[in-house]
Amino acid sequence: MSLPPSSLKERLFAEARALGFTRMGVAHAEPLTVEADRLRAWLAAERHGVMTYMANSLAARVDPTLALDAPAGPGLLPSAVSVIVLAMPYARSSERVGPAPGRVARYARGRDYHNATGSRARTLAKWLRRQGHKSRATCDTMPIVERAWAERAGVGFIGKNCCLIVPGLGSHLVLATVLTSAALEPDAPQPERCGSCTLCLDACPTQAFVAPRELDGRRCISYLTIEESRPAPEPLRASIGDWLFGCDACQDVCPFNRTALPADDTTRPFAPDPRWEAHDAADVLRMDAATFATYAAGSPIQRAGRSGMARNAAIVLGNAGEKRHLPVLREAAERDEDEGVREAARWAVERLSAE
């Protein structure tokens, strides 16, 4: 026999807490009309750069009940009535991990969140199925605007830095969603609480914010170091600083991230991996495909690939301003198999030689 909606939601949240989720919320599954207009305008301005998948999946992105491909194709969950949003904080205990130069964004310092958080969301979806409800879980694996759903579900609010901020937890969070046919009572959205603060907008090294809550992805270091296959445009390279993969600058300055995280933070799967202590940007630039595969195993940095990370490493070394890196850069400029890496290394050599 199915549980009544109120006790189902209570039991569901208890299950989610037991799985390690710290905040949960529910929204009614319906088309995201306001968000759809914003997303369309953002795409029309080409702020998504090479992330064409954003445009290709727009229809499904703004309506979780729509089919992904053809009308007869598989939907995200055509019978979805509720969207459950789950948040799990990742470790932010240390300012820097690993020898300088070279810094990896905090979310990527532990196990890949697609597995670490996604497997827990899938367990919750299975639990719902055992209660007689259809369900489908995703953690950045389906076209869902997770932050928009998190805001609707009252989990937090979207700050001027475009991140989901959960008062009391901050924004260093991984989000997962479970779509379900269960009719759960929706939670009330939270108001935006940035007020007159502009710390994140001012802190962005590449001036990627066009306006509060509006990011030009093409200027963002996360995009330039992860999504883009070509080296960053020259005028932006110096601003990348020592970011090897991703960037935390607009989150690190946020007052909502001064809150202490739960005591078991470092025991979560996102605890920094020792590999970041062992290798700096020069090591990354030297890695061949096989060495990189071992180095990146189980980590989100796999997304950038060997060439992307080697190119990022060359830019980081160019910015570090240390002539001791000239030999490894010259070697890469002449011999690396990838033109993007060679080009970034040539730029770094010129930069260091001019100093």
CA separation for the pair 120, 117 (Å, rounded): 5
Site membership for ligand SF4, residue 271 (CB under 6 A): no
How far is Cα 85 from Cα 139, in angstroms, rounded to an integer? 10
Instruction: Tell me: does residue 299 bind ligand SF4 (CB under 6 A).
Output: no
54 belongs to the binding site for ligand SF4 (CB under 6 A): no
**Any contact of residue 169 with ligand SF4 (CB under 6 A)?**
no
Nearer to ligand SF4, 206 or 307 (CB): 206
Segment near ligand SF4 (CB under 6 A), from 30-38, 195-203, 284-292, 318-326? 195-203
Question: Which residues are within 8 A (CB) of 177 and not within 5 positions of it... i.e. 6 or more apart?
Answer: 83, 84, 85, 86, 121, 137, 138, 139, 144, 146, 149
Distances (CA, A) of 53 to 74, 130, 214: 17, 33, 19
In the set 67, 68, 199, 238, which binds ligand SF4 (CB under 6 A)?
Answer: 199
CA distance 178 to 158: 20
* Spatial CB neighbours of 285, under 8 Å, sequence gap ≥ 6: 310, 313, 314, 317, 328, 329, 332, 341, 345
Distance of closest approach, residue 211 Cβ to ligand SF4, in angstroms: 12
Residues 105-144: x where in contact with ligand SF4 by CB under 6 A, - otherwise, as a string: ----------------------------------------
Active site residues: 140
Q: Whole-number minimum distance, CB 255 to ligand SF4, in Å?
A: 5
Q: How far is the CB of 205 from ligand SF4 (least distance, A)?
A: 6
| 103 bridge partner residues | 243
The residues, ordered by sequence, that sit 6+ positions from 202 with a Cβ below 8 Å of its Cβ are: 253
The two beta strands, 103-104 and 243-245, are parallel
Among 220, 236, 314, 348, binds ligand SF4 (CB under 6 A): 220
Backbone φ and ψ for 178, nearest 5 degrees, come out as -125, 120
Residue 136, burial from CB neighbour count under 10 angstroms (0-12, 13-18, 19+)? buried
Q: Count, in order, helices (H) and strands (E) of the chain.
A: 17, 10
Cβ proximity of 204 and 240 under 8 Å = no
Rule CB under 6 A: say whether 319 interacts with ligand SF4. Answer: no
Minimal distance in Å, beta carbon 267 to ligand SF4?
A: 27
Which of 84, 116, 155, 200 touches ligand SF4 by CB under 6 A? Answer: 200
The residue among 180 and 222 lying less far from ligand SF4, judged by its C-beta, is 222
Among 98, 101, 143, 159, binds ligand SF4 (CB under 6 A): 159
Query: Does the footprint of ligand SF4 cover residue 222 (CB under 6 A)?
Result: yes
Q: Which residues contact 174 (CB under 8 A, 6 or more apart)?
A: 87, 88, 89, 90, 107, 113, 116, 117, 139, 270
164 binds ligand SF4 (CB under 6 A): no
145 binds ligand SF4 (CB under 6 A): no
Q: Which of residues 238-267 bind ligand SF4 (CB under 6 A)?
A: 247, 249-250, 253-256
Residue in the shown chain whose Cβ atom is closest to ligand SF4: 159
Q: Tell me whether residue 73 or residue 167 sits nearer to ligand SF4 (CB atom).
A: 167
Q: Centre a 10 Å sphere on the Cβ of residue 187 and count the other Cβ atoms it contains.
A: 16
Question: How far apart are CB 108 and ligand SF4 at their closest, in Å?
Answer: 12
**Which residues in this chain contact ligand SF4 in the complex, by CB under 6 A?**
159-161, 194, 197-200, 204-206, 208, 215, 220-222, 247, 249-250, 253-256
